[in-house]
Amino acid sequence: MQFEGEHLLPGKIGHFFVLLAFAAAITSTIGYFIASRKTDIQEKKTWLRFARISFLTETVSIFIIFAVIFYICKNHLFEYMYAYKHASKELEAKYLLACIWEGQEGSFLLWTIWHSLLGVLIIWKEKEWEAPVMTVLNIAQFFLLLMLLGLYFGEIRIGSSPFTLTRNEINGPVFSRPDYLSYIKDGVGLNVLLRNYWMVIHPPVLFLGFASTIIPFGFAFGSLLTKRFGDWVKPALPWTLFSLCVLGVGIMMGGKWAYESLSFGGYWAWDPVENASLVPWMILVAGLHTMLIYKATERSLKASYVFVFLTLGFVLYSTFLTRTGVLGDTSVHAFTEKDEIMKLLLKLFMAAFTITPFVLLIRNNKKIHSLQTEEKINSREFWMFIGAIVFFLSALFIIAKTSVPVYNKIFNTNIAPAEDVEFSYNKIMVLVALIIGLLTAVTQYFKYKSTPQNYTLKKIALPTLITAGIAVLLAFFYPLTFYKHGPGFLGALYAALVAAVYAVVANATYIWTGLKGNIKSAGGSITHLGFALMLAGMIISSANKKIISDNSVTGINVPFGKDDKGNQAENPLENLTLLRDLPTRMLNYKLTYTGDSAGHEEGRQFYKIKMVSNDSAEQFELTPDIYLGKNELKSSNPSTKRYLTKDIYTYISSINPVRNQNDTTQFNIKEIGPGDTAYYNNGYLILNGVTKNINNNAAVLDGAVITADITVVSKDGKRFQSSPAIKLDSLNGLYIDDTLYAQNMFLRFSGVAENQKIKIGVKESSTFIDFITLKAYEFPYINLVWLGLVIMAVGLLVSMVKRSKISATLAAAILIALSVAMVYMFFVAGA
C-alpha cells in the first residue's frame, strides 16, 4: 500500500547511519584493543590508524543521526513516532532541543555525542594512553548504539530506533489508511514540566558529566590491561576534576529546574532520580581524594581503583533505574516505558562495566603497589581518607534507600517509603554535613606523611576564633527556626551550619596565609570554600524557609483535593485566595491579581500578580503560569522575585473551576440620575455623570457612544470606578459592560429613562467571577547555594587547568569564560 504524504528518506538515511556508527564502534574497539597489546611500534601505529578512521566514521555518523532527528522534529514529520511523541506545532522553537532529548533514544544519542567529542580530545591530548582508554570508550559506544538499532530478529527487537514509523507502532484502523497522516493534526509534544529554560541546557551538561566518568575509568582499566599500575593516576587527575565539575554543575542545574518549574517549594526533594545522579558524584569525590593521596604518598591506590570503577558503575545503575520503569511511580524524572529487551541490554551494559574491571582488579591485586605501614593520625592523607570514606558511605546510604523499589521487585516485598521521605534522608545527611564541614576546614592545615606537634593548632587558631564569633552572632541575631523535628534535629542543623561556616573561613584563611594568595595553587581551597558555602546556603534556606501566603487575611478558603496518599493536597490556610482586582495583604506587600494571558503553547496561562510594598517604595509584577488540561490544572510553574538576601517564590495552587461556565444571574435594572445613589447587596453606587462620544473601548467603532461615570462604594469603604457604556446606531444598541471583579459584579448601561435618568443594570454573580489561590515562600539566603556552586566549579577548573597540558593564556580564557557563563546561567538567565 502506498501511504500518502510520508517522507521516508530522512528515516532511511538516519537508520543507515545508526548501522554504520554501530559497525564503526565495533571495528574501532577491535583496532584500539589490538593496538593496546602491540609492542612493535610500526604495528601499533597501523592499528591506531585503522582505529582512528573507524572512530572518525562513528563520530560523523552520530552527528548525522542527530541532524536527521532534529530535521524530523523541526519539520513535524509525524509519520515518525519520535516526532509524534515529542514534538508539536505549538511548541516554542527554543524547546526544540529539549524535545529531542526528552525521549530514551535522544538521551542515549546525546550520551554518544559527548563520548565522541571526549574521544577526539583523548586522541589529541593523550597519545600514550589513547589505545586502552579508547578501547573502553568504544565498548561503551557499542552498547549505547545497540540501544538505537531497532533491528528485529524474529519477534525480538534489539534496541529502539528513533526512526520507526508511527503507523507501525500504534495499533488502530486509521493507521491502515493510505491518508492516515491527514488525521494526525499535531504531535503529543514535550511534557509540560520540561518546557523550561533549564531543560534545554541541564540534560546536555548532566550527560556530559555522565559521559566524562568513563575517562578516569578508562585510564584505571587500561592500567590493569597494560600492567602499568599507578601510572594512570597523574594523567587521569585533570579528567577526574573535569568530570566532577561538570557532573556537579549538571546535578544542581536539575535543582534549579526543579526550583523554577516544579511546585514542591525547593530545589532538592531527595527524588530517586536526583539521588541516582548524586551518588556517582559523591563516589568520584572520594576517588579524587584517594588519587591525590596516592600522588603525594603512594598510598590508597587500590581504593582509587575501587572508587573510579564504582563511579561509572553507579552512573549505569542510575541509568537502569530511570529507564526501565522501576522508578516510574516514585519520581517525576523517570521514564515509564517497560521494554524488557531494553532492560536486558542495560543489565549487560552495567555488568560489562562493573564485573569485568573488578575481576581484573582482583586478579592483579598482589601486583598493585601498596604500602604496608599505617598512616599517621597527624598526617593530611589520614584525614583525607576519612573524608573519602564518609563520602562513600553516605553515597551507599542514599543509593540503598533509593533502591527500595528494586528490592521490592526482586524479593517480592512491599517495603513502604518513610512517611516523611525528606527527613529520613536529612537526619543522616545533616551529620554527614557536620563531619565533612569540619574535615574540610581542618585537613588542609596538616602536612602529608607527618605534621609537627602544635603546627596545626597554631595555624587553625585564627579561623577557629573567627568562626566562634560568627556562630555567636548567628545564634543571637539570625537563629535557625526549623522546629518541626524537635530540638535534637535543630541542634544538629546548628552544628552543621557552624561547621560549614568554619570550612568557609578556614579555607579563605588558608588561601592567604598558607598559599600566600597564590590562586593557581588554590584550586582545592577554592573548591572546599565553594562547597562549604553551598552547604551553608542549603541549611539556612531550608531551615528558615517560611510560607508567607497566610490566607487568614481573606477568610475565603478554597478546598483542595487529596494527594496520592489520601492526605489533603494543600492546606487552605497556606494558600492565599486572590480575587481579581482586589488588593490583598501578604507579609510586607499588597498583592493584586490583575488578569491573565494565554501563552504560546496550548493550555498555558500566565497570571499577573502586582506586588506593592506597604510603604509603596517598591512595585513589581510576578507572572506564575499553569498548564490546563480539560479545564483542570495539570502543572504549575513558579514565578520568583529575587533579592540579594532572599527569594519570594510564588506559584498558582488552584484556579476558579467554574470561571468559564455561563452565569444565569439576571441584571437588576436601576434608574438613577447624576448624583443619585443606588444600592446593591454589598454597598452602593453613585452616578457621577454621563458623557457622549468617548472612545471608551477598542471594540467601539463608529456611532454615538454614551458612557456612565459611576463610583462604586463597598460596605468596607473601598471605592471603585466603573464605566459601562452603550454604543448607538440606527438599528440597536451595543452594550459595553464593565466588570468589577473585586465586587463580583457586572454593570451595564441598559438605556435611557425619563426625567434625565439612565438605566443601569447590576448583576451580582452567585459565584466568584475570577479568583486564584497563590502559595508563596520566602527563601532566605538561597543565593549562597548558587554562589557556592559557582565557586566550587571554578575551584575544580583551577585545579584541572593546573594539571593539564595547556598554556596559561588559554587556561585563563577558559576559566573566565566558564565562570561568566555559570554566573549568567544561575543569576541572570533564569530570572
Per-residue pLDDT reduced to its tens digit, 717-769: 888 899 998 887 655 678 888 888 878 888 999 888 888 899 999 998 766 67
d(CA 234, CA 376): 24
Which residues lie across from 546 on neighbouring strands? 778
For residue range 278-302, what is the model confidence (pLDDT) as tens digits?
999 999 999 999 999 999 999 999 9
Which residues lie across from 547 on neighbouring strands? 777
pLDDT for res 700: 44
Most confident of 155-159, 264-268, 673-677: 673-677
Q: What angle do CA 813, 819, 821 make, to 5 degrees?
A: 100
- pLDDT exceeds 90 at position 207: yes
pLDDT for res 699: 45
State how beta strands 771-780 and 738-740 pair.
Answer: unpaired
Q: What residues contact 592, with CB distance under 8 A and at least 6 apart?
A: 578, 581, 582, 583, 584, 609, 610, 612
Contact 529, 503 (CB under 8 A): yes
Confidence of residue 123 (pLDDT cuts 50, 70, 90): very high
d(CA 224, CA 395): 26
d(CA 479, CA 392): 32
**Mean per-residue pLDDT, 588-616:** 89
Contact 560, 775 (CB under 8 A): no
By the 10 Å C-beta count (0-12 exposed, 13-18 middle, 19+ buried), 777 is classed as buried
Angstrom distances, CA of residue 462 to CA of 448, 469, 495, 510: 22, 11, 19, 10
d(CA 113, CA 204): 10
Chain position carrying cell 524557609: 545
**Mean per-residue pLDDT, 321-349:** 72
d(CA 581, CA 749): 21
Angstrom distances, CA of residue 170 to CA of 77, 184, 221: 16, 12, 44
- pLDDT exceeds 60 at position 331: no
d(CA 168, CA 152): 13
For residue range 530-581, what is the model confidence (pLDDT) as tens digits?
999 999 999 999 999 999 998 877 767 776 765 555 565 678 888 998 988 8
pLDDT for res 556: 73
Contact 506, 462 (CB under 8 A): no
**Residue, of 518 and 83, whose pLDDT is higher:** 83
The type of residue at 199 is M
If you average pLDDT over every residue of the chain, what do you get? 89
**Mean per-residue pLDDT, 629-658:** 84
- pLDDT exceeds 50 at position 684: yes
pLDDT for res 701: 45
Contact 525, 464 (CB under 8 A): no
pLDDT for res 370: 82
3-class state of residue 743 by DSSP = helix
Using N-to-C axis directions, what is the helix angle for 9-37 and 41-74, rounded to 10°? Answer: 160
d(CA 774, CA 636): 11
d(CA 27, CA 31): 6
- pLDDT exceeds 50 at position 92: yes
Distance of CA 775 to the CA centre of its chain: 21
- pLDDT exceeds 70 at position 464: yes
pLDDT for res 567: 60
Helix (H) or strand (E) holding 677: strand 677-680
Nearest to 532 by CA among 564, 560, 566, 497: 497
d(CA 110, CA 100): 9
Contact 747, 722 (CB under 8 A): yes
pLDDT for res 812: 80
d(CA 785, CA 536): 8
Q: What residues contact 578, with CB distance under 8 A and at least 6 apart?
A: 584, 591, 592, 593, 609, 771, 772, 773, 774
**Mean per-residue pLDDT, 693-704:** 54
Assign 3-class secondary structure to 587-643: CCEEEEEEEEEECCCCCEEEEEEEEEECCCCCEEEECCEEEEECCEEEEEECEEEEC
Confidence of residue 81 (pLDDT cuts 50, 70, 90): very high
Percent of the chain past pLDDT 90, that is, above it, reads 62
Contacts of 401-407 with C-beta under 8 Å, sequence gap 24+, read 401/275, 401/425, 402/272, 402/275, 402/276, 402/279, 402/321, 403/321, 405/272, 405/326, 405/327, 405/329, 405/330, 406/321, 406/326
Confidence of residue 45 (pLDDT cuts 50, 70, 90): very high
Most confident of 153-157, 327-331, 547-551: 547-551
For residue range 430-451, what is the model confidence (pLDDT) as tens digits?
999 999 999 999 999 999 999 9
Using N-to-C axis directions, what is the helix angle for 455-477 and 486-513, rounded to 10°? Answer: 130
- pLDDT exceeds 60 at position 332: no
**C-alpha cell at position 207:** 550527560
Q: How many residues does the chain have?
A: 831
**C-alpha cell at position 411:** 524479593
For residue range 7-33, what is the model confidence (pLDDT) as tens digits?
999 999 999 999 999 999 999 999 999
The type of residue at 683 is G
- Alpha helices for 646-739 (secondary structure H): none
**Mean per-residue pLDDT, 132-143:** 97
**Residue, of 418 and 563, whose pLDDT is higher:** 418
User: What radius of gyration do the chain's Cα atoms show?
Assistant: 32
Confidence of residue 698 (pLDDT cuts 50, 70, 90): very low
d(CA 806, CA 808): 7
d(CA 572, CA 574): 5
Q: What are phi and psi of 713, to 5 degrees?
A: -120, 120
